[in-house]
Every structure is written in structure tokens, then in C-alpha cells.
Amino acid sequence: MTGLRRTIALAALALMTAPAHAAAFDVKDDFAMAVEMLQRGKKDEALKALQKVIAQSPDQATAYELWRGTDYAVWRDMLVLGGDFELSAKRLIELARQGRAERKKDDAAISELVAKVVSSETDALERRKALRTLSADHGEYAVPALIAGLGSDGDDEGRVLAMHALSQMGAEVGAPLCVALASEDAVLRRNICFVLGNLGDARSVGALQKTAMMDGDESVKNAAAESLAKLSATGDAESNLLKASDGYYAGRDMWMREAGDVVWGWSEGRLVGTSIPTALYGVETSRRAALHALAVNPASTAALARVARGFVGLQVKCDALTAAGVDCGDWKTKADAGVLAVNAAGVDALDAALADAVTHLDASSGGALCRVLAGLAKGPTAGLEAALRCSDGALSSEAAVALAHIATRSGGSVGADVVTVLGAATGREALRLALVVDGDEARGSAIAAALTKNNVHANRWTSGAKALGMLHRAPALDVIIVADSLPDLTTAQVIDEVRSTERFANTPILVATADAEGVASLYEDRIKGTLTTAEDMASVMEAMAGELSGDRALAETLAARSASALAHVGSKSDLKPAYAGLHAATKRADTIAVPALHALGAGGCAACVDVVLAVLADDTRSDEARVAAGGALSDILARTGGALSADGNTALQGVVNGGASPMVKAAAARAFGNLAIDAATRAQLLGSIGN
């Protein structure tokens, strides 16, 4: 009898003991069906049942009970099958891990279990049972209690048992153990090094190398070196800590597989856990790893860059969560205070961080870094130049604004490349943004192309994991299109991850599939619809119907800032590459139109006269816009010889003699002073004013 057959009864028993509520019963019933169908060799039916389990989005508690009550052989056999079976099993295991996290913080239960684990008087079977419960239910939260006896104050038997227990608990306990290396107790540090070696988690390599290099106690150094040998460690402390910083920031699986809702610190001789929103975990852990690298090499620009990146990322994410109605608590205060650290990092470090943001198309953090560099850099930098040339429009525009500000401060000019980008940003209407996740290159490309034709910018990924990684850095999304089958994750997992991210909880999701009816019944109201062909954009456009909000306001602000930047550099730079964008911007809201008119006044030519005059003569426009247009017209006429067509003269005269406000009339009248007309015509025009 196979392992799968042997465990059917156990699986069924686990399902029978499930909570009585209907949703949990359905999930467990479907799981039992998947196991039974697989045992009978009906793999297609088994997979459908398993996918139905995932599509129902089982809660963490249900998944946890299923995980604990089902023999591991069931999971092992599903994982071995690979493909969608493996992906679905992994998803349930991940949900179970999250469910376990909810049970972790219970000091009384932890103390009781630890007392059994570290006591030589406890029966061996009872000790193993207590350790399994401690690991499953409390994980890293048990570390402070377990390391209490590892130091110089502990007894030998309890110390050995505690070290053995920690070594059996898995990689999850590695993070707090690495933090505890800050203890002043050399015996504790030495024993922690041994435990880290036994755990075999590559994420502890940097911390062990730092200890082997910098610890003041030879026994601790030797213990760290011994553990590093066990881990077959390569590289040095700085490079591995920087690698960890990058891994956490990017949300890579290896680094984030034990990610939770707590970060650890060492204070007053003990480990202290601080709750943190899951969305902030990666950037904060990245920042801390970079600080350790900086301790190893205080002259490291790369470490400084990552510290700055961490603070910027923390602020960007906190701002996004706050805008979405999520209370970040003290983390928002910490992020705001981090601005001081960002400025203190220096131009070289900030520019290196920006270059990294460009590489990963991290528009949110990259844009923030551009804004900081705008006030610090003495001239163009490599990072700003790279950002200016990158494919992300928002990041490119931020770089152009920064370069314009730098030029303004230094009294210089900007080139055509900067002017072109600023012009495009000024005239660009806020685009709809889409995320396309499809392992089928041809279909994904076709969908992205169809979106582009509908003025929707598409970020396309063939990997579900990479797409989710980008999701955490994306400033905004209007729609997400995900294929019904992916090479690395289940479609349901992608949907669940999106829904669990506060900023995208209400973002419409469509599934690209040939089986629209089946997918619709599988996911029901969790998705907005389906997409059967790339050309069928009606469902996509319908899903995106509604007003632009939130992040789109930021896009409008960027357009206004770009126009303002052009106004500042217009007198010393050739604005011709920006004319199209500036002309379009004069028709937009005053926040964009007014600085665009100022820019045309600073650097416009005869080709801009009719555009500016149209605003001045339009009695539906605001006084602010019309006054700005009058000023721009006067400046352009002064530079270009002051020629207006007969219709232009009539329009200008109409403003002066019409029913406009006194300040609009005054602005129009000033333009008369720069008109290149003969004396008789001027006398005629003057005679008509007020009559």
C-alpha cells in the first residue's frame, strides 16, 4: 500500500474533526475528495478538487488544522507529483504557516513548554511532544525563553537541552538568534553561534561572519568560524549582509520564507519583539541588514545606499498604507524621522540607491530618491542620468524634474533629453496601469499590446512570484490580469496575495482563460471577470471604469512639477522638445496649466502664440489661468518681434474691451506693449480701448 493510501483514513479523520462552520467543512471535504481521487489514479479530478480547495480561499485556521491533522505523507505525495499539485499543496502549507503565526504570542504557554523542554527530569517522549508544540505553535516567540539558560548563568544540562531544542526548531528561529549575538554575555554568544551552525540557514552567514571578524572573545570567534565551516560559507561579512539586504528588500523567497509580523531587537540584556505590518517587514529587515554591513565597513557606500533605500522604502510604504486607511502606528513616525538619515547618507550613497531602484524599476522609492537628490546634488549624477533614460515614465519624469532643479540652483541649463521628458510628463494624462501575469509569452505580449492601444500601460511578468514582488513596490494599479495557470504559483495564490495587500484589496482582477465559464464559477466574486482573447478589451475597460484617485493625484502633481521645472529652466534652455506637452497642458486643470503657461512665457516661440492666446481669450477659464496666459503672451511677443495675426489682434482687443475681470484685462493690455505694429494701428487699437 502506498503512503498516499495509508494516509487516506488519517486525512478523512482530520476532516471529520474540523470546525462545524460551512466554509471550513467544504474546504476539508474537497480536500478529502482530492486525496481520494488521486489514490484512485484520477489525477484530473483530483487536481480540480484541489484547485477548488484553493479557490475557496481557506482561512489560516482551517489550513492550520488541516496541516496538523493530516499525515505528512499526504503532503509529501502531492509535492512529489509537481505541477499544479505541488503549487496547490505549497499554498495550503503556506496558509497553515500563517495560521500557526496567530497562535505564537502566548508567554504563559511558552514558559510552560520551555520548562518541560529544558528539564532533564522530563520524560523523553514528553519532551519531544512539548518541543513539537513549542515549534509549531510559537516558533520564534519561544527564542527569548529558550536562550535565557544558554548564557553563563545557566546550568550545563539545561543549556544542552535548550541548544538542542533551538537546533530542532528550524530556520524561523534564526532571525532572533542573530539579533541576540548583541548580548554582552560571551557564553551566550558562543552557544548561539553553535546553534546557528546546526540550523544550517544560509541567512545567518553574514551575522556569523561579522561575529567571527569583530567579536572581542576568542571562544565566540572560534564558535562562529566552526559554524561557518558547517555552512560552507563563502564571501565576506559585508557582501553577505548586503546580499541579505537585497534579498529582503526584493522579497525573494529565500529571504522572506519565514517573514512574519515581528522584528527583533536587543534591549537591556534581552530580546524584544516589535510588531510590524507585514507590508513593511521586508524593507525594515533590509535596512537592518544594511546597518550591520555598515558596522563591518563604515566606509561602505553600498551599505549606506541600502540604509537610505530602507528608510525611503519604509516611508513610501507607510504613506501608501496610510492613504489606504491602514494605521502604521509608530512605524509611520519612524519612517518620517528616517528622512533625516536619508539626507545624511550623502549624495554618493543616495545615487547608488537610485541606480538600484532604476535596475529594479522601483518607481516609488526611486522617485523619492530623485526628490532628495534634487536638493543635494551639485550637478547631474550617474543615478539621475540612468533614471532619466529608464523605461518607467514616472521615474524618468522624477529624474528630469530633479535635474532641472539642480540646473536652476547652479544657474545652468538642461539638455534636450531632460526637456523632452519634462514635456512628456507635463502633457501626459494620468495613464491607467495594468499588471499582466502570464507564463504564455505570446498571449501575455498580445494582452499587453492590446492594453497599450487602449491607453493602459502594462507591466508584464511571466512568473507569479516576480509579479507579486513587483506588486509590493508598485505605486498603483488599475487592473490585474492573471492567467488561469502559471509556472510557479497557483492563480488562486496570486489572487489571495493581491487581496491581502491593503493597497490592492479592491483592485479589479480578471483571469485570462479559454474556459471562461469554469473560471467564473471557480472564483466567483473574487474576480471581476475573464479575458478569453487579447482583443476583447471590453471587460477590462469596464472593470477599470471609475474616477482616478489616490496615486493618480500624485501623477497630476508630477505633471505640475514638471511644468514648473520647465518654467525655471526655460530662459536658459531650448524648450522646443517640450512644446507639444506644454501646449496640451494649457488645456488641463489650473494646477498644471498655469505652470505650463509660465514655462511658455519663459521659453515659448511664435508657434506658441495662438495656444496661449486661446487661453487668454477663453472666458470659461479661471482668472488665474488667463492672467498667466496674458503674461506668457507678453513675454513671447517681446522675444519674437511681437507679431500677431489680424484675428489675434481682434481677439486680444476683445479681451481688453470685454467683460473680463480687471486683472485679466490688465494682463491682456500688457501684451499690447510688445506688439510689433505701426504707429497708426497702435493708435487705432488704443483708441478702441474702453470704447
Strand 529-531 to 456-461 pairing: unpaired
H helix or E strand, kind and range, residue 436: strand 432-437
pLDDT number for residue 9: 37
- Mean predicted lDDT score pLDDT of the chain: 86
- Beta-carbon contacts of 319 under 8 Å, excluding residues fewer than 6 positions away, are 335
In this structure, of 23-27, 193-197, 398-402, the range with the lowest mean pLDDT score is 23-27
Look at the block and give the residue holding cell 498571449: 443
SS3 content of the chain, % helix, strand, coil (to 5): 70, 5, 25
What is the predicted pLDDT for the residue at 265? 95
Q: In terms of C-beta density within 10 A (0-12 exposed, 13-18 middle, 19 or more buried), how is residue 82 classed?
A: exposed
Q: Cell 536562550 appears where?
A: 147
Between 289 and 316, the more confident residue is 289
Instruction: Write the DSSP symbol of residue 473.
Output: T
> For residue 595, what pLDDT band results from cuts at 50, 70 and 90?
very high
Each domain of the chain, given as residue ranges in start order, spans 3-101, 235-345, 432-543, 551-688
Over 90: is that where the pLDDT of 287 sits?
A: yes
The whole-number pLDDT of residue 501 equals 75
Is the domain covering 551-688 a CATH 1.25.10.10 domain? yes
Mean pLDDT of 145-163: 89
pLDDT given at position 339: 82
pLDDT value of position 534: 84
Q: What is the pLDDT of residue 20?
A: 37
* In the chain, % of residues over pLDDT 70: 89
* Residue among 363, 393, 498, 499 at smallest CA distance from 435: 498
The pLDDT of residue 24 is: 58
Strands 262-267 and 270-275: antiparallel
User: What pLDDT is attached to residue 255?
Assistant: 73
- For residues 610 and 14, the model is more confident at 610
Stretch 343-351: mean pLDDT: 92
Q: Which residue has the cell 494599479?
A: 477
Instruction: List pLDDT tens digits, range 632-690.
Output: 999 999 998 878 888 888 898 889 888 899 999 999 988 888 887 777 767 776 676 65
Considering only CA atoms, which of 597, 591, 584, 506 is closest in space to residue 553? 591
pLDDT at 17 over 50: no
Q: pLDDT at residue 597 above 70?
A: yes
Torsions phi, psi for 262 (to 5 deg): -145, 140
**Strand, helix or coil at 437?**
strand
Residue with cell 484617485: 549
pLDDT value, residue 14: 38
| 150: phi then psi, degrees, rounded to nearest 5 | -85, -15
Length of the chain (residues): 691
The position carrying cell 535635474 is 403
Range 332-343 average pLDDT: 88
- Does CATH place domain 432-543 in 3.40.50.2300? yes
Q: Which of 268-277, 464-473, 567-576 has the lowest mean pLDDT?
A: 464-473
- Report the alpha-carbon distance of residue 686 to residue 683 in Å, rounded: 5
pLDDT band for 580, please (50, 70, 90 cuts): very high
Query: Would you call 657 helix, strand, or coil by DSSP?
Result: helix
Q: Per-residue pLDDT tens for 248-278? A: 988 776 777 666 689 999 999 999 999 998 8
Q: What's the rounded mean pLDDT across residues 332-346?
A: 88
The answer, as to whether pTM is greater than 0.85, is no
What b/e sequence results for 418-446 when a residue is b if at least 16 CB atoms lie within 10 Å of its CB, and e otherwise?
Answer: bbbbbbbbbbbebbbbbbbbbeeeebbbb
Which 3-state string (H, E, C) describes 571-584? CCCCCHHHHHHHHH
The arithmetic mean of pLDDT across residues 76-103, rounded, is 72
Q: What are phi and psi of 655, to 5 degrees?
A: -70, -45
Q: pLDDT at position 593, please? A: 96
How would residue 552 be classed by pLDDT, with cut points 50, 70 and 90? low
Instruction: Write out the H or E segment, with its range, that includes residue 163.
Output: helix 156-168
List beta partners, residue 480: 435, 509
Sign (positive/negative) of CA torsion 97, 103, 107, 111? negative
Mean pLDDT of 529-542: 86
Q: Which pLDDT band, with edges at 50, 70 and 90, does 469 fall under? A: confident
Contact present, 628 and 591 (Cβ < 8 Å):
no
What is the predicted pLDDT for the residue at 66? 72
